[in-house]
Amino acid sequence: MVHEALSLYANNDTYTFVPSFLDPSVPPQNLVINRDTGSFRLDRTAPEPSSPTAQAEVLTVYGIFGVIKLISGEYLLVITERERIGKLGGAHDIFRAKQIKVLPIIRSTKHLSEIQIKDEARFLFLIEAQLKADSYYFSYTYDLTHTLQRQAQFGDLENKPLWERADQRFFWNRYLQSKLIDLTEESTDQNGYSIYSDIASKQIPSRHVSIDSTRFFSRGIDANGNVSNFNETEQIVLLDPIRDGYPTGAFEGKIKLSYVQTRGSIPIYWAQISNIKYVPKLQIMDLPHTNETARRHFDEQIRIYGEQILVNLVNNTGYEYPIAMAYEKAVKSLNDPRLHYLHFDFHHECRKMRWDRIQILIDKIEEELLKQGYFYSEQANSSVHTHRLQASVVRTNCMDCLDRTNVVQSALAKWVLTQQLREVGVLSNKERIDEIQEFMHVFSNGGLVWADNADAVSIAYSGTGALKTDYTRTGKRSAAGAIQDFQYSITRYIKNNFMDGSRQDAFDLLLGNYITSAHSPFVDTNPAYVKSFPQAIFILILLSIFTMIVPQSEEYPNLNRLLFWGTILLAIFLIHFMIKNGSDFIDWPILVPPEYRYYQGPTITASSKFLQNRRQSELMEYGEKIELQKIE
């Protein structure tokens, strides 16, 4: 049984979780954690009023987020504040965890060395900072990890507990829940106390946990076929049957419509190596098993979603050109009729803020979209009839799978929504959803819709809201939106270069990619000049201020001028030095260092042979622009 609230009784000996609302017909079942032994057990006896448990400090808990082991022992992560962000179908509350407390199970750290105590404090800081920074959504009654279509096809899975039937790709705290899951498997009550949460919103953009990372520290594909920043986004519309132009009775959401899209990094081996320059170094690894790994990725995607409509939005010129051609080459090499590839140079096609030209892309894939369909089911009396199933998926990418991808996904979702509402009779065959101003105001501006969905995905990956959301919200590009994009770009630059290493370390801790041990991972291997650089910058600032506020000396009238130009020359030298040795100043992850940083193997660049074989006819006709290409 999944409980919506628990009373946590905490004392020096035990933590005891007691369900706040007990069903008299069901025997009570409490979770007791012994703080001496660290053991977990289920206890069916209620705390006696005079017992130490009943007299302990009481804390209301809305979910056990998980258990994590650090150097001294295990810690409990419990949800102590929640916020209801919406209701799905009138029956399923969706919550955001507002506060997650970290409680030590072990009572003392006296057995640790001084270094271990410092490491423990650093681990705790990373964990607590990440839990505060990210948004974690959960529901007690609805499985956020599965789409409506997958839920309709559950079969025997429907009777399984939530943690067991959850899609493991999006079960974000699965590692943290492992000890509690083990306990429920040992118990006769298989539902136990497990509660899951994932990165989700009203549109449910579920983020893959196998390669969860920050922006520049993970790109491309891994050996298992997982790609960075993979997200599944489901747009759900719930309606009731319409009679004589009006819905009948109270809202029940008997008609369910959904449309699923995916996004993910280009599925080859590549990286962007941070070096404090605004645009990092692009590195494409020329590995013999690239095609095999890409096939593994697409086979899994086809198994889950059906045929893949691959929409590649990266530039066809300049910096992004090598990765665009490498992706196209990989898809051609696979020669799989289930992969439908389209390259749409977003920045070229939509230049000068002509974002209405996204319709060109939709027109190109309209035939595939009509074949693809969407999920459509309707409840009649006690039975549910499935009218349609979505047969394929659009997999969109740009470099980050963020800003350009957000714009295109929102446009596709709006186009499909028009088709859905026409089918159920809300719109006539000639009406479009963007002609209904009242609805578009909600779709574009209000609530957790596409622009807010874009922000949620972007914050998790890059540390800021999404760019170009003025278009997603209003359908138009604006000067104010461009200014906001500039601010976000600067913030991203600072965070991605000088702060994301620590954030990645927190991810690796919470996802179980790094397991703590007695050995300290925090060995400072930075060169000495990196450590002294902040002091040098501080001295430079003081000298600059000194030259401006100190009166000129009659004995040395040129001293201030010499000091001023000296600080300028020193600043130029330091900036040049930083650029030349940029990677030394990056905040790199410490717990699980990225392998690509030390990669010495063959690479693909713009001068590589296969990129030089670009079709001369296209260059002559289009210059640096290649028209939309589709591979059947």
Count of CB atoms situated within 10 Å of the CB of 605? 11
Distance CA 32, CA 15 (A): 6
Assigned token pair, 608: 């590589």
Q: Tens digit of pLDDT for each residue in 75-125? A: 999 999 999 988 887 789 999 999 999 999 998 888 999 999 999 999 999
Q: Which residue has the higher pLDDT, 32 or 548?
A: 32
| pTM summary value | 0.85
Give the whole-angstrom CA distance, residue 545 versus residue 555. 21
237 vs 224: CA distance, rounded Å: 34
For residue 221, what is the DSSP state?
A: B
What residues does each domain of the chain span? Answer: 6-186, 205-402, 528-589
What is the chain's percent helix, strand, coil content, to nearest 5?
40, 20, 40
Give CA–CA dist 74/179, Å, rounded.
11
- Under 8 Å CB-to-CB from 437, ≥6 apart: which residues? none
Contacts of 575 (CB under 8 A, 6+ apart): none
Res 199 pLDDT > 70? no
For residues 357 and 25, give the distance between their C-alpha atoms in angstroms, rounded to a whole number. Answer: 62
Written as one letter, the residue type at 107 is: R
User: Residue 51: which residues within 8 A CB-CB, separation 6 or more?
Assistant: none
- 396 three-class SS: strand
Q: Which residue has the tokens 């579920």?
A: 206
Nearest to 469 by CA among 487, 485, 446: 485
* Out of 350-359, 391-400, 512-521, least confident range: 350-359
Percent of the chain with pLDDT over 90: 47
Express each pLDDT in 122-180 by its tens digit: 999 999 999 998 788 899 988 999 999 999 998 777 778 788 889 999 998 999 999 98
Sign of the four-CA dihedral 428, 434, 435, 441: positive
Residues 6+ apart with CB under 8 A from 409: 233, 261, 263, 394, 396, 450
Please state, in angstroms and rounded to a whole number, the distance separating the CA atoms of residues 189 and 184.
Answer: 7
